[in-house]
Amino acid sequence: MKIYDRAGFPNPARIRIVLAEKNLESQVEFISVDLIGAEHKQSAFLAKNPNGVVPVLELDDGTFISEGVAITMYLDNLDGNPVLTGTTARQQALIHMMQKRADDQLIDAIGIYFHHATPGLGESLQAYKSPEWTHRKQWGERSLAKFASGMQYFNSVLATQPHVAGEHFSMADITVFAALMHASAAGVPIPPELSALAAWQARIAERPSVKNRSGQQFEADDLRRLGF
């Protein structure tokens, strides 16, 4: 199998954590995609994923699977023990419900803010955004407010249970963690009053699959090109 992604970015981190949880890293070849250079918006990559986003999983038979949930479902079910996506109807329903909320309220919201209300990943990607800067910035700021509301919601959830979808670690936890990772990189911290969310983040950060992979640094060339 092959994974097309870029180290240090939030959605790639989601799948790298999944691979680590499932002990599948040795079975995957990682192919780095130049996001700052807009490689994912060019025809060669769009043939793999018309949505123009990473990560993309390529199976040995040439099948391409994109979208984080779809990739997670595939990888989680390879061994017949889907611990991240649910083994019972109840678990599956709860995990997918919370996953949808995490996507909508957190990772999508902070992504819209980052890409449309800030310089984002730089000049090369501007051509693929709406030319209406004022409109884009307002949309981004509204999405930041949505993200803030989402953090409050997940704080209330995690004040009453150990994980996002209940008693067990799942893909919903991975998504929330990746969203907070993106927010931190964008200069948006967890407010101090959201103590349950902060405590959960600290605990998940120590999980072996997370500690050893989600903290992978941006490639040195990416940092230079972003002006760091």
Question: For residues 1 and 63, what is the distance between their CA atoms, to the nearest angstrom?
Answer: 10
pTM of the model: 0.90
pLDDT at 127 over 50: yes
Average pLDDT, rounded, for the chain: 90
Question: For residues 68 and 57, what is the distance between their CA atoms, to the nearest angstrom?
Answer: 10
The CATH label, of 1.20.1050.10, 3.30.465.10, 1.10.3720.10, 3.40.50.800, for the domain at 89-208 is 1.20.1050.10
DSSP-assigned states of every residue in 4-49: EE-TT-HHHHHHHHHHHHTT-GGG-EEEE--TTTTGGGSHHHHTT-
Cα-only R_g, the chain: 17
Instruction: Write down the architecture of domain 2-84+217-225 according to CATH.
Output: 3-Layer(aba) Sandwich (3.40)
Distance from chain centroid for Cα 194: 21
pLDDT tens figures, 34-56: 998 989 999 999 999 999 999 99
